[in-house]
Amino acid sequence: MAASSATASQRVEPNYIFIWIYLIVLTGLELVVAFAPISKAEITGLLVGVAGVEISLVAMYFMGLQFEPRSLALIALIPVALVGFMVLTVLPDAAVAIYPRRGGGEVASMANALGHELSGPNPNLNYRPRL
Amino acid sequence: MSEVSTAQPHFDQPLAVELLESPLTPENTGKLGMWLFLSADATIFGAALVAYLALRIGSTKWPVPASVLSIPSTAVMTLILICSSMTMTEALSAIRRGHQARYRGFLTLTIVAGLVFLGLQAREWNHLIAAEHLSIDTSLFSATFFILTGFHGCHVIAGVVYLGVLLIRGWSGKVSAAKSAAVEIASLYWHFLDLVWIAIFTLVYLI
C-alpha cells in the first residue's frame, strides 16, 4: 500500500471523462429498460446487471480500487460477501412468496402420486408454543 | 555473545521492510480507516436494502414505485450525483498537480451539486408528505422509502459539510499537493455516496 501510494501520483490515470460518460449512458439505459415492454423478471435482471456495472465502474475507477493492493480490495469485498449471505437467507422466503401456487401444486401432485390425500389446513400452521 | 545481548534495537529508525509491506504507514492510515468505515457503512446500507427487498417481496399491497415516485426528477438527481463524482475527481487531480484555484473551483461545484441533490430530495419528500399524505408509519412502502433515502440524505449532508471544511482549508492554504491525501480520503466518501445512490435508484425507484 505504501508502495502504491508512493507511485499514486506517477501512475497512469484512466480517462475519467470516459467513465463519466459510461455512467451517464448506463443510467439512461436503466431508464429505457425500466419502462421497456418486457416481463418484470427480465426488467429486474437487466436493471440489477446494469446497476452492478455502474457500481463496479465507480468503485474500480473513481474510488481507485483498481490501483490499490489486494488487501484493501479484500476490505471492500467484506460487505459484498455479507450482503450476499443476507440475500441467501432471504431467498427461501422470497421463493415461497413469488411461487406459492406452483410449490403447492407440486406438493399436491407428489402426494397424489404417492396415494396420499392432502386435505384440511396444515396443522403446523396452527402450532402455538406452550408457555 | 555479550555484544549481541547488549545491542539495543533502534525503534526510532524507520524500517525499510516495514514501510514497504505494512499498510499502516502514516500517510495511509487515514485511507485505510476510511475504507474500513465505508466497508461497515456499505454493510448497513446493504442490510437495509435486503430488508427492503424482503418486505417488498412478502407484501401483496406494494405500490408500483413509478406510480407514486417521480422517476424523471430522481433520474436528474442521479445524474447530478454522477456529475459531482466527476467534479470531485477533477478537484483531486487539480490539487495533486498543485493547481489551487482549479481545486477550489471543482470542489465548490461538487458542494453545489450535493446541495442541489439535497434540495431535490427535500422537494420530493415535501410532495410525498404534503400531497400524497405519506409518512414513515403510513405503510411498509413509505417506511422503507423514507428510511433508505433519509439515511442516504444524511450521508450527503455530512459529505457536503466534509467538503465544505476542505474548501475552507483550501482557501486558507492548508491543502497542497503534498497534503492531497486528505482530499483523496474525502473523495472516497463522496464517490461512495454516488455508488449507494445507484443501488437505491435501481432497487427502490426503477424495479
User: Tens digits of per-residue pLDDT, B154-188?
Assistant: 999 999 999 999 999 999 988 888 888 999 999 99
How big is chain A by its Cα radius of gyration, in Å? 24
Q: How many CB atoms lie within 10 A of CB B26?
A: 9
Contact A98/B at CB under 8 A: yes
Which of chain A's residues have a Cβ under 8 Å away from the Cβ of B20?
2-3
Which pLDDT score is estimated for A5? Answer: 47
Interface test with B, best of A26, A86, A88, A99 (most B CBs within 10 A): A86
Residue B108 clears pLDDT 50, i.e. is over it: yes
Look at A125 and A55; give whichever has higher pLDDT: A55
Tell me if B33 is assigned to some domain. yes
If you write DSSP's letter for every residue of chain B in order, what string do you get? Answer: -HHHHHPPP-TTSPPHHHHHH-S--HHHHHHHHHHHHHHHHHHHHHHHHHHHHHHHHH-S-PPPHHHHS-HHHHHHHHHHHHHHHHHHHHHHHHHHTT-HHHHHHHHHHHHHHHHHHHHHHHHHHHHHHHTS---TTT-HHHHHHHHHHHHHHHHHHHHHHHHHHHHHHHHTT---STTTHHHHHHHHHHHHHHHHHHHHIIIIII-
Residue A4 clears pLDDT 60, i.e. is over it: no
Q: How much is the mean pLDDT over chain B?
A: 88
Which pLDDT score is estimated for A72? Answer: 85
Residue of chain A nearest B78, judged by CA positions: A27
Distance CA A32, CA A47 (A): 10
Residue-wise pLDDT for A22-37, tens only, equals 999 999 999 999 999 9
B118: its cell numbers: 439535497
Contact B109/A at CB under 8 A: no
Contact, B79 vs A24, CB < 8 A? yes
Instruction: Look at chain B and count its residues.
Output: 207
Contact B34/A at CB under 8 A: no
Residue-wise pLDDT for B32-85, tens only, equals 999 999 999 999 999 999 999 988 888 888 888 888 899 999 999 999 999 999
**CATH classification of the domain holding B76:** 1.20.120.80
Distance CA B49, CA B195 (A): 13
Tell me if B175 is assigned to some domain. yes
Residue A11 clears pLDDT 70, i.e. is over it: no
Residue-wise pLDDT for A90-99, tens only, equals 888 777 777 6
Tell me if B14 is assigned to some domain. no
Q: How many CB atoms lie within 10 A of CB A19?
A: 19
Interface test with B, best of A35, A83, A96, A98 (most B CBs within 10 A): A83
Q: Binning pLDDT at 50, 70 and 90, where does residue B26 land?
A: low
Distance CA A83, CA B203 (A): 14
Q: How many domains does chain B have?
A: 1
Tell me if B67 is assigned to some domain. yes
Distance CA B91, CA B111 (A): 11
pTM of the model as a whole: 0.81
Range of the domain at B126: 28-206
Tell me if B17 is assigned to some domain. no
Q: Binning pLDDT at 50, 70 and 90, where does residue B113 land?
A: very high
Which pLDDT score is estimated for A6? Answer: 45
CB contact under 8 A, A86 and B50: yes
Contact B100/A at CB under 8 A: no
At residue A88, the 3 state secondary structure works out as helix
Tell me if B38 is assigned to some domain. yes
Tell me if B18 is assigned to some domain. no
Residue B19 clears pLDDT 50, i.e. is over it: no
B86: its cell numbers: 466527476
